[in-house]
Amino acid sequence: MASTRDIRVCLVGDEGVGKSTLISSLIKEHFVKLAPRTVLPEVTIPPSVTPGHQVTTIIIDTSHRAHLVNEIRKAHVVAIVYAIDNPTSFDRVPTYWLPTIRSLGVNVPVILIGNKIDLRSGQVTNEALEDECVPIMHEFKEVETVVECSAKLPLNVGECFYFAQNAVLHPTAPLYDTREHTLKPACVAALSRIFKLCDINKDGLLSDDELNDFQRVCFDAPLQARELAGIKEVVSRGTQDDHQPAIVDDALTEEGFLYLHTYFIQKGRLETTWKALRTFGYGEDLSLREDFLHPRFDIPADCTAELSPKGYQWFTDIFETFDKDRDGALAACELDDLFSTSPGNPWLANGFPGTTITNDGGNVTLQGWLAQWSMTTLLEPRVTLAYLAYLGYSHSGANGGSGIGPGLKSSDPTSALIITRPRKQDRKKGTVQRNVFLAYVLGAAGSGKTNLLRAFVGKGFRERHEPTMRNETVVGSVEWGGGEKYLVLQEFGSNYESEMLRMAKKLAMADALIFVYDSSDTNSFSYISNLRVRSRTCAFTRRAGTDTLPYSGGGRPFVQQQFKLDDHPSLFVATKSDLDLAQQRHEVQPDTYCRKLGLQVPVAVSVKQAQLADLFHTITSVATHPYVGLLQDQRGGVGGPRRLRFWTDDECRFLDLCFLTRLSSIPNSNRKNANSSRSLLGLGIPANAGFTTCLYATAGVVGLFAAGAMVWKSVVKGKAVGGVVVGGLGGTVGR
């Protein structure tokens, strides 16, 4: 075991049965006669005395009732000692001692120790001993072992405490039903999974080579030819009356493998079965351990996880192993076999295999299989790590596929994953080295987002619009630079986009934002524009004590941003290009809108006509070279990106005063036009808002208000601005 643990062994029994003498003989390795009613102090045996197990064994002798009860409750195993020359002490085991332990609510293993075999008269056969002890073991399932010894000779004294340790380290109860003499269901399930992982060629049999691999994995030593023959003989002899064959073509079937472990347990060799279970990741409750399923794998902020070359190779090998008909795709039955060592297919609830590339029959191809795992690793790396454990990566060895192999050494599942370079570092360098990209597809209901996703993975066009009520995610591969990149497209549904985009961590995961509008719908583009405006619009408030109140021009405003899309590479897509082009009800048309942002004009596509204009390659290009898809004001280069400057209180009050003074000098008949001039920005700024509010309302104010640029320059440089500011603002507002 990896860490040191304590095992408390509590010896109980009638007076005079030899409890203290047993402990004394163990320590001194010879018999020492003790005075009557001697109670030895607590004895500690260090781990060095019990090689192979990092355990400290604490042995407790017991005497009076209060001490007895307290020690039983603290014990990990209870040893009931009886004297072979005193039948009454044996009779009290099932009538007094075992019921007493149960009455204390203690659920620990119990072993029975028959002391003083040197005083037994005559020979006793094993059958006679079984006749005495088996009824007790049937009635009290907590009894693990019965062992006889002599503290005087001494004989089997060390074995008594060895069995006591084993009762804790390798308990019977989770594995074996002592009443029915069968393996328990959880044990059968665990051993069946191990059998499947060891069956490298997936023929349902363990050959000599596969048995040898199993032996090396668990015990770091091969089986000799005579040992292999002995195993098969034991299995064959013990399963003669069974309906299911245990040996086929000189190889072990699953039934034979289960019988072999039943035999080990019945012969008291529980450590053999437990060693196999623990090697393959099982804990004391026969479920896979948390540290086995989810090893530590920390992903720094702004980084992502991807499959390593070793991970891609392993998933390729396991695909080919289970592709029995060699058609290059996994049918439903083949997937069932593949996931039989796990809780099941992890993607069924998400529409798999419709989420990735399939053949004409709807079966996932190798390309789709690798793409699906690439997406899972990007979005949920813990799931990938868990399934690497379920499917046998830790024991994949040299064969690379599912199951164990020759020359095996345990593999850390985290070696199948790598951590990418931070996104900010990629963008600073102007290119991205990652292989898996995530793009969010945004747009109004009915704009064709779902059909775009379906087209990416080769699914048919849907004529009827069905509102997206949950996250839809697909993944496919794109040829890039002589290799492949994996592109993940995710759609939230128009009703949930704003909510999802407010989640800063989720938004930060996106490598690109794809804004989709229906080119035949006059209102479709406005949704995108409003979504982007909301990402720049700030709620202006002032603090009054602990309350947050609407800003009314007094005090210092502060900014509360909803979500920020401008920092993400973006691409606009005009769908349904096969229909008549509609004039969009927007201040400017989409082409002009994109040019003003310094972006590529919308890519026109028609999914229905399969005219996609190399869209997915373009999306990959934007994700790979994020500089291309960033707004002009957000790009680096000479001078770096422009950023909103937070003004001092005096500057804010001065600018508000100038703006409101000039606005009050405009005739009432012109004020409507003045206010509507600001409303063209689509920001919804109140009519009585000051210039500072307008300035805070959009990060692009420097480019949108020429007068604002003059004020910015003048105030920053500390020049006199009176006439310039009022005149400049008047000209802007009056337009």
3-state secondary structure 164-194: HHHHHHCCCCCCEECCCCEECHHHHHHHHHH
For residue 316, report the phi and psi dihedrals to the nearest 5 degrees. -65, -45
pLDDT at 537: 52
Measured between alpha carbons, how far apart are the two ends of the chain, in Å? 81
pLDDT at 631: 67
Report which secondary-structure segment, H or E, holds 369: helix 366-379
Instruction: Check: CB of residue 139 under 8 Å from CB of residue 97.
Output: no
Q: Compute the distance between CA of residue 684 and CA of residue 699 in angstroms, rounded to an integer.
A: 15
Domains along the chain with CATH numbers: 5-169 (3.40.50.300), 182-287 (1.10.238.10), 296-320+330-336+345-401 (1.10.238.10), 437-634 (3.40.50.300), 649-734 (no CATH)
Lookup: tokens for 357: 């590339």
pLDDT at 418: 97
Q: Compute the distance between CA of residue 526 and CA of residue 531 in angstroms, rounded to an integer.
A: 8
pTM value > 0.75: yes
- Closest by CA to 732, choosing from 654, 673, 682, 656, is 673
The segments of the chain whose pLDDT lies below 50 read 1-2, 398-400, 406-408, 538-561, 637-649, 651-653, 655-656, 658-735
pLDDT at 471: 87
pLDDT at 395: 82
CA 97 vs CA 12, 129, 167, 296: distances in Å: 8, 20, 18, 46
Torsion of CA 623, 628, 633, 636, to 10 degrees: 90
Contacts of residue 230, Cβ cutoff 8 Å, sequence gap at least 6? none
Question: Which residue's structure tokens are 């009176």?
Answer: 722
pLDDT at 667: 47
Q: What DSSP string describes 407-431? A: T-----GGGGEEEPPPHHHHHHHT-
Instruction: Check: CB of residue 451 under 8 Å from CB of residue 457.
Output: no
Amino acid at 373: W
- Closest by CA to 599, choosing from 577, 574, 632, 576, is 632
Lookup: tokens for 186: 């959880």
pLDDT at 664: 47
pLDDT at 551: 38
